[in-house]
Structure formats: C-alpha cells, structure tokens
Structure 1
Amino acid sequence: MPLLFDTPWLTLLAGAALIGLAFGAIAAATRYCNMGAVSDWVLTGDPGRMRAWLLSIAVAVLGVALLETGGVFDLDQTRVNYRAADFPWLRYLLGGLLFGVGMVLAGGCTTKTLVNIGQGDMKSLWAYAVVGVTAAGLLYWPEARWFVDQTLAWPHFSFEAISIGHQDLGALLAGITPGGSLKHWRLAIALVVTVGLLAWLWRMDHGQRMRRADAIGGLGIGLVITAGWLWTGSPMGQALMSEAALAFDPPKGTGTQSLSFVAPAAEVLRLAEAPALGLVTFGIVAMLGVIVGAGMWAVVRGHFRLQGFRAWSQFGTYSIGGLLMGTGGIIAMGCSVGQGLSGASTLALGSLIALGGIVLGAFVTLKIMLYRALYPESRRRSLTCALLADLRLIPRRCHPFRDEDPTGERPSGCSR
C-alpha cells in the first residue's frame, strides 16, 4: 500500500506500542499478575496482588464511565462486542473455567507469560506459542470456528427479546427501571461498583494499607486499560480508522478496543504466514510492546535471565496450560485481560461471568495441586469434600484436611 494510506494506521499502531510498553513495564516492576493474585490468595493467604487486580478493575470501570458519560467515546460497538445483546452465558463460563485452569498449569496468565518472555523465559514463550496455535485453529479453521460460534453459543439468551439493547449492568437496570437515561444509569452503576471494589480490597487485609507496588500496579494497569479505549474510541482514533479504511487494502483489526492477549497470538501467526502491513493489528503491536516494556525493565534492573524447561513433565504441563488458555480465551472471547480487565471495565455481564470462571478455575486447580502435594495418599472423595468445603458448598466441619491429618481421611467424611 502507498505510504499515504499507511500513515493513519501507523499512527494508531504507534499509540498501541506506547500503551503496550507502559503495560509491560508496570506489570514487570510491580509483579502484577492475575494468576499470581489468585495463587497468593489461595496458597499463602496474601491478598496483595488480588488487591492490585481489584484496584485495576475499579480504576478502569471508573475511567470508562466518566469518559463515556462525557461523550469522549461509545463502547456499545467495540471490536469484541462485550455489550452485545446476545448472551451465551455458558460460553462465557466454560471459556473462563478453561482459561483459569490453563493459566495455573502454564505458570501464569497471559500478562505474566508476556512479561516472562520479555525477561528471557523460554518456557513462557513456548506456552504462548501454544496459545497462538490453538487460538488460530479455533479462529481460522472454518469447522472449529463454526463449533465455537454455533454449538457453544447454546444455551443463550437475547436481551433484545425483553427490549434491552445491551448486556452491561447499566443497560439492564435502565431497561427494567422506569425513568432515568442510559448514560446516567451507567455512571451510577459504575460509581457503585467502584466504591464496592475499593471497600472490598480494603477489607481483604483487615484495613491494612496496600503495599506501594500493588497500589502502583493496580492504578497503572487500570489507567493503561482506559488509555486503550481512549486511543481507539476517541474522535481522533475513530477518524484515523476511517481514513485507514479508505485504503486500497484496508487493515484488519480495526474498531474500538483495549488490550487482550489471546487473539493477538493467533494474529501473529497469520502475519508470519503472509507478511503485510494491513495484517499488523492494534493487538499485535500492543502485545509486542508488553514484551519489550517488560524486557527493558528486566535489563535495567539486571533481572534478564534465559530460562528453559527443567524436565519433560514441565514441558507437558506448560503445553497443556497453553492449549487450555488458547481454547478458553477464544471460547470466552477474552482472557484474564481481555475479559478480566477490558471487558470488565464495560461492566458487561458476560465479562463478569468469564472473570468469575477464570478465578474459579484457577482456585480449584491450585487447591487440587496443593492437596495432592500435602496429602498424596488421600482418596478422591476426600479431595472432593475438601474442594466443596473450600467453596462453602458444604459445611466447613466436613473439610477432611482441617486437622492436619497426613492421610487426609476423617472417619465420618462429608457426612458430618
């Protein structure tokens, strides 16, 4: 394509690079990681990184609400249509669960995977390659795409059937409550959610002050997610995309969007197969920016180290983890960043369900690994009872491991 037509798209991509660089540097400097948040909380009881995750969501929710209320952008039509009226709830839940399991097996969520790649971890590079191959198969293989979009879309519910045009919490309340504009409902709900999240993260550690790194990480990542929406959804971003669309071969991946890291892994493979500027998407450049940003921080701090697999079993675990992350990310239409941050910032109900599935999948996987390590001779029934008790689905007194019994067995099991 002539350079004249490349200029608007290159301008957008330059912004994506800066956003990715900021995300990678902040995540590396503060150890921000969604899987690490769940892991610390489950294994050691440390809520620090979970508080950072909640803070980043709160900041993004508030930032999006204020900018959207001010008319800076409109997130009702985004590249990943988070607020679509069609609501395939099982797809969100199943995809989230698969992704949550996968990120534990792969040693980190997509955020941590990209940060680790920047710091020289070849294990994470392999896991992310598996994510890309899996995602590409589900996106570009017609039969697989049909299965994901048609079969996994059932059961679903359309909010348009009850005269509600979008699935975000503000639109749902506006649709069932007489009076008040959609804009005002969205702002009100965002304020309530933000205050609720801040109160929750305060109570998580009995009111103790957040660690500085966690506070900086949560605030910084939340602002970066908001910046992604601002850069692509503002009048300037929309004008640049409109200009790029007039090119003889318009670029792929246009549309209002923020960060997500599963689909870009597949897009990189498509770009490698047929290199062309039009195939370089916002997501690809932002993803590469994360790697470079984390790498620059690692070099400056002297943390860059090449690392590889220590055993074939580790190779297998990372491979399975990458497979599940790629599968779950496509099914749920986003990863722990795509749905857990970008989607959650729109307060879309599907994003919140996917986020819950991710946390639940990681929680259960971490608990299983912990109990198998501590009580290797325990029976499957005891493990099941322990998980049900941890999830508060049965009384806590039924927990078979609460007395530190090395076998994990209790005479009355879950019947007590």
Structure 2
Amino acid sequence: MDYLLSFTDVFGESGLLALGGLVIGIIFGFAAQRSRFCLRSAAVEFSRAEFGAKLAIWLLAFSTGVILTQLLFGFEILAASEIRQLTLQGSLSGSIIGGAMFGAGMVLARGCSSRMLVLAGQGNLRAVLNGLVFAVTAQASLRGILHPVRDELAGLWVVSGERLDILGNLGMDHVAGILIGLVWLASGIFFALRSGVGLKGWLGGIGVGVAVGLAWAWTGMLNGQVFIPVKIESLTFTGPSANTLMLFLSPPTGIWRFDVALVPGVVIGSFLASAWARELRLEGFSGGPSMTRYLLGAALMGFGGMLAGGCAVGSLTNASVFALTGWLALLSIFLSAVATDHYLDRQLERHARPDVGEAGTPIPAS
C-alpha cells in the first residue's frame, strides 16, 4: 500500500484522506439518486405489506455493504481491534432511544439525512432547509445546548467494547459474516425480482453498498500509512453534517477530513445523476403544516442520530462490522418508522380519504 504515499506529495495527507471522502460521496450520491435508495421508503413498504422495489433496493445495498466489509476483514485491511464500534464502550440506550427518534423523524421529514442530501442535489429546497435544521440540531447535540440531555440518555445503558462485537462474542469470524450477508442478499434478489426492479435500481442499490465498503477500505488502508491520525470509518451523515456546518461557521483550519468531504460529495453525485437523467428541478414546501412536519422530523433525526451513534446509513455502516449498537439502532430506526407510518401517516390518509378502507379499497356507501 506504499503507492498511496506517492499521492501525498500532490494532495497532502489530510487532502488525500478528504479526496477519498469526496469521491466515495459522489459514488454514493449518484447511486442513491438513481436507485431512490431510502430506508424510510423501505419501512413504509414493509408497514403496508407491499414488499416492493424500495425494500428490495435497501436490502441489496445493506447486503452488499455487509459482504464487502466482511471481505475486508478477510483480506486483513480491517481488524476488529482497530474499529472503534467494536472496541470503545457503547450506549445501548442511545441506540434504542436515538434510533426510535430518528425513525419517527425520517417518516415525518419524508426521508432520512442521506436522502435529504440527495434531494438537495436535485434542487429540492425543502431538503436544503431540512438538512440545515438537521445539522444544527446534530451540532447542538454534539457540543451545544442539547449535549447534557444526550449524555444523560446515552448513560442509561452502557456496555464495554468487548461486548459489542457480535461475531467475536459468538465465536465466529468474517466467513460467518459473509454468509449472513449472502442470506440478506438472497432476500434482496428475491424481492427485486418479485417487484420488477429495473437496471438502475439493481446497480444503484448495489452501488450504495459498494460505497460503504469503499469507505471502510479507504480509511483502513490509510490508517498507519500516513503520519496524521486516521479514524477508520465508513459512511454516516449525522456527525459529518454537523462538522461540515462548523466548517462554514468557524475560522478555516486548512485541514480537511474524510467525513467533511463526504457530505458535499453526496450532493455533487446526486446533482450529476439528476442532470444526466434530466431530473433537476426546484421544489419547495407545499404549505405551513407540511413545513412544520418536515422541520420537526429533521430536528428529531439530528438529535436521534447523534444519540444513536449514526443515521440510517451510519447504522447500516455500523451493522456491517457486526457492532451490537449498529444492529440495535438499525432495528430501532426501522421499527419506529414502521410504527410512525402505521399510527400517524395511514391514519391521516384515512381521514383525508374517508372512502378508502384498510387495504386501500373503496368502502361501499352505506
């Protein structure tokens, strides 16, 4: 891997790390825009027993990310002892409570934090404002006025690092992780074939998973190869959104990091995909009530994502290394989104359309 060091003469060490974040962000943004990758949409399909293309695309992305990440352990590019999600103490209460808040928030906001970045790249002004509220709330939760509340909730149930490695505690290794990923991949393929997912859905869903693996590989390879400290990480958008916000609000330091470059990369990738598909268009809010709903959802995601240790994509990333906190957060996000859709959105739809029944069929007039 010494060949990587030759590029530091051109970009510098921090610049090289950030360049990887930018490129991987572009790949993610392009793939997510073309495939309409979105955990919220997948959860809504599950809630309504539709099991369609959105769920299939999410499963393709998730399984690809798991398989590639576990292969990196097999090739010794990653080591469990160097992954903070598997070594530092973790908050199970944060994963559960924060995940539930994030899941409810993404249903209210009509998309998770990564989806907001993708929509912003398409010209969606609602997503831009939502993203700003999300980033401000995340920053307030990280270092600001909401920090004590986050610490209090996170401290309710904390476990040591050695208890977070699911595979290690079960006496398994990366081979078992790959097999589990293949099971998820098989389910994704089944639902994709069943729902008639098109080529862009297949490629985009798999592309999102590839971006997760590439991020782990990039930071894993640079760790120990450069003099600056490199945090081994992959895709997540809660902390990076807060850090990107502070980049514009704080005096410039001249130091770019992987996570800070990742966020604009996603927007650029989405913009390129939208321009290529001729889907660029300006969109805004449809009215006051919808604006309140979206902004509340963005705030819930900002606090919940920081408490849970990651957004919807961040939890997918953490789950790909089989961190207990990642799987708990992902499950909590999904179940909360399903419950919010079932008990809120579907009820609102029934009130708005009283002639529609439980299964979406017209109710006979009495």
Q: Where does residue 21 of structure 2 map in the other structure?
A: 16
Identity %: 25
Unmatched 5+ stretches in structure 2 = 1-7
- Structure 1 window deviating more from structure 2 (143-152 vs 352-361): it is 143-152
Within the candidate set 161, 165, 183, 1:168 is matched to: 165
What's the CA shift for 1:53? 1.3
Partner AA of 1:187 in structure 2: H
Q: Where does residue 305 of structure 1 map in the other structure?
A: 281
TM-score if structure 1 supplies the norm length?
0.78
Q: Which has the larger radius of gyration?
A: 1
The within-5 A match list for 1:10-409 is: 10-43=15-48, 45-78=50-83, 81-84=84-87, 86-141=89-144, 144-158=146-160, 165-174=162-171, 185-204=172-191, 210-234=197-221, 236-240=222-226, 243-245=227-229, 254-278=230-254, 280-340=256-316, 342-367=317-342, 368-375=344-351, 401=358
What's the CA shift for 1:189? 2.3
Q: Where does residue 180 of structure 1 map in the other structure?
A: none
- Structure 1 window deviating more from structure 2 (7-16 vs 69-78): it is 69-78
The Cα offsets for residues 133-173 of structure 1, whole Å up to 9 and x where unpaired, read as 101111112x63343234432123336xxxxx251221111
What's the CA shift for 1:72? 1.4
- Structure 1 window deviating more from structure 2 (283-292 vs 55-64): it is 55-64
Secondary structure in 2 aligned to 1:49? Answer: helix
TM-score if structure 2 supplies the norm length?
0.88
8 Å contact from structure 1 (residues 111, 337) kept in 2: yes
What's the CA shift for 1:50? 1.2
| Alpha-carbon distance in 1 for matches of 2:195, 2:290 | 37
Unmatched 5+ stretches in structure 1 = 160-164, 175-184, 246-253, 379-399, 408-416
8 Å contact from structure 1 (residues 35, 104) kept in 2: yes
8 Å contact from structure 2 (residues 235, 313) kept in 1: yes
Count matched residues: 354
Secondary structure in 2 aligned to 1:302? Answer: coil
Secondary structure in 2 aligned to 1:58? Answer: helix
8 Å contact from structure 1 (residues 103, 362) kept in 2: yes
8 Å contact from structure 2 (residues 236, 310) kept in 1: yes
What's the CA shift for 1:265? 1.5
8 Å contact from structure 1 (residues 89, 350) kept in 2: yes
Secondary structure in 2 aligned to 1:107? Answer: coil
When residues 255 and 158 of structure 1 are mapped into structure 2, their CA distance, relative to the original with a 3 A threshold, is closer
| Alpha-carbon distance in 2 for matches of 1:87, 1:8 | 30
| Alpha-carbon distance in 2 for matches of 1:346, 1:134 | 27
The one of the two structures with greater contact order (alpha-carbon pairs below 8 A, sep at least 6) is 2
Secondary structure in 2 aligned to 1:83? Answer: helix
| Alpha-carbon distance in 1 for matches of 2:333, 2:339 | 10
The CA RMSD measured in Å over matched residues stands at: 2.7
| Alpha-carbon distance in 2 for matches of 1:58, 1:403 | 32
Partner AA of 2:95 in structure 1: Y
